[in-house]
Amino acid sequence: MPLNKLVLIALMVMIAAGVNVWVGTMAAAALQFGGRAWAIFIPAALVAYVVWRVIAARIGNAKDDHYDHIKK
């Protein structure tokens, strides 16, 4: 396995772990605030929306599939 792929996998695992911890602390803080819990999840919803849009743009872009059109 190439080193750059290994580093990318390790980086994604670390980012996923960090996001899990961040969402967990947001949920714990929401329980502390009671009725104002919706205000704490607004940043999480915004981040999720941006990630969703980036992934959707990447999947839907035909220019990014350069190697799919190469004859083997």
Residue 13 confidence (pLDDT) = 94
pLDDT digits (tens, 9 = 90+) for 28-63: 877 787 766 666 677 778 888 998 898 888 777 766
Tokens of 26: 């947001």
Q: What is the pLDDT of residue 42?
A: 78
Give percent of the chain above pLDDT 70: 76
pTM of the predicted model over 0.85? no
